[in-house]
Amino acid sequence: MNSSDSEEDSYNERSALVQSESPTIPSYNQDHDMSLPEETDTKRRRPVSSGLDEPVPVLVERERVATPDGEEEELTLKYGAKHVIMLFIPVTLCMVVVVATIKSVSFYTEKSGQRLIYTPFEEDPNSVGQRLLNSFLNTIVMISVIVFMTIILVVLYKYRCYKFIQGWLILSSLMLLFWFSFMYLGEVFKTYNVAMDYPTLVMIIWNFGVVGMICIHWKGPLRLQQAYLIVISALMALIFIKYLPEWSAWVILGAISIYDLIAVLCPKGPLRMLVETAQERNEPIFPALIYSSAMVWMVGMADVSNPGSADERQRGGGGARAQEGVESEDDVAQGVSRRYSAEEDLEEDRGIKLGLGDFIFYSVLVGKAAATGGDWNTTLACFVAILIGLCLTLLLLAIFKKALPALPISITFGLVFYFSTDNLVRPFMDSLASHQYYI
């Protein structure tokens, strides 16, 4: 199967780790008095609600609260652990779905000989040197495609072709929600020998797909949207696991984390430019690319008293709210969409967002660890390594307070643990188990 471009884009665009904005903590009541300082705070606190179409993971700084430093630090720490868990759960769920599928449905581990057009070189299992060379060439092709797409997206974003980007995103999520889930369901039915008729299947897929499109691109309950985003990340990861050749997959994982590092941290990196452009324009990110753990902002609650805070909150709010995209900027200026009381905001607003590309690549790593060999220890080790990497990345975010890439640390840990557990720990544990020695 030669996948279409939109599939490539969808994973390109889906990697970003973004933090939603936090409210002005000192303004516990939304009075007229507070609006002025808030507006200045808004400008100061411009978070990097960035990258509509960020091809690579970017961790965006959390908004600085306009309070004395001690309180700010404490708030960061107090909310730090909660955010880590808010990301652990969806990442774990995605990985569990992928591993469960890989272990039960054999379709995704069968090598059919078909490849994506992005990895044109065939891996010859006979000669190690040739195989290595081909995997590096495949990686170069894949990464260049990604870089090319990123640049196109940056250009599109710079010239404000939002409709084009949105159309592109809708097309790619259409394909994921209908075609790939149809394939997935078909394979699951085959594995468990379930008889299914086409009318029922059409009804199921139709409902699933349409609700998914609505939830992701328009409005919907937060949990449902999160669930759909996890499911499409898992589907995407499964496609990669099936169609990427063995060695190329590992090299691509390594290369993409290096690319992520460069693209986000270098001054001329495409992602950094994207982030800065979005920052200047104060625009929200398209929700089809970002998983948001924050509360959904309510639409239609007019609160004219705080146009400034409403503005920044609307920007901060991920979830279903932000699909309004550019048009809602005007609404916001009129002070639409205000939220509940500030006390609730304290807890809910400090949501955190993670790009779907991060989910996808984490799941690819763990899925491949589960696919190659029957060893569960390797899978478990990679899982723990990725979670610790994510934890460290968020810790660095809390310390440095600037945009950071989310892939490198986790993928590095994951790769190190995969190869070392597979080659070193596995024989040791197997010998111990056969003698029933316990350490």
Q: Which is nearer to another protein, 121 or 383 (CB)?
A: 383
Please report how close the Cβ of residue 91 comes to another protein at its closest, in angstroms: 12
Give dist(CA 90, CA 318) in Å, integer: 16
Q: Which is nearer to another protein, 144 or 423 (CB)?
A: 423
Please report how close the Cβ of residue 66 comes to another protein at its closest, in angstroms: 17
Phi, psi (degrees; rounded to nearest 5) at 217: -100, -10
Annotated catalytic, 197? no
Distance of CA 239 to the CA centre of its chain: 16
Give dist(CA 35, CA 139) in Å, integer: 51
Q: Which amino acid is at 307?
A: P
Q: Which is nearer to another protein, 84 or 98 (CB)?
A: 84
Q: Which is nearer to another protein, 220 or 389 (CB)?
A: 389
β-partners of residue 194 are none
Please report how close the Cβ of residue 435 comes to another protein at its closest, in angstroms: 7
Q: Which amino acid is at 260?
A: D
Query: For binding to another protein (CB under 8 A), which residues are involved?
Result: 70-71, 73-74, 77, 81-82, 84-85, 88, 374-377, 380-381, 384-385, 387-388, 391, 417, 420-421, 423-425, 427-433, 435-439
Q: Which is nearer to another protein, 194 or 439 (CB)?
A: 439
Q: Quickly tell me which residue has 């936090």 as its tokens.
A: 22
Residues 6+ positions from 71 with CB-CB distance below 8 Å = 25, 65
What's the burial of 115, exposed, middle or buried (CB within 10 Å: 0-12/13-18/19+)?
A: buried
Please report how close the Cβ of residue 93 comes to another protein at its closest, in angstroms: 15
Q: Which is nearer to another protein, 203 or 416 (CB)?
A: 416
Please report how close the Cβ of residue 430 comes to another protein at its closest, in angstroms: 8
Distance of CA 25 to the CA centre of its chain: 28
Inter-residue contact 213 to 228 (CB < 8 Å): no
Q: Both tokens of residue 216?
A: 């992701």
Please report how close the Cβ of residue 274 comes to another protein at its closest, in angstroms: 31
Catalytic choice (9, 53, 260, 422): 260
Catalytic choice (53, 311, 358, 422): 358
Give dist(CA 299, CA 339) in Å, integer: 9
Q: Which is nearer to another protein, 271 or 385 (CB)?
A: 385
Give dist(CA 9, CA 262) in Å, integer: 19
Q: Which is nearer to another protein, 171 or 380 (CB)?
A: 380
Please report how close the Cβ of residue 395 comes to another protein at its closest, in angstroms: 10
Annotated catalytic, 9? no
Please report how close the Cβ of residue 361 comes to another protein at its closest, in angstroms: 20
Residues that are catalytic: 260, 358
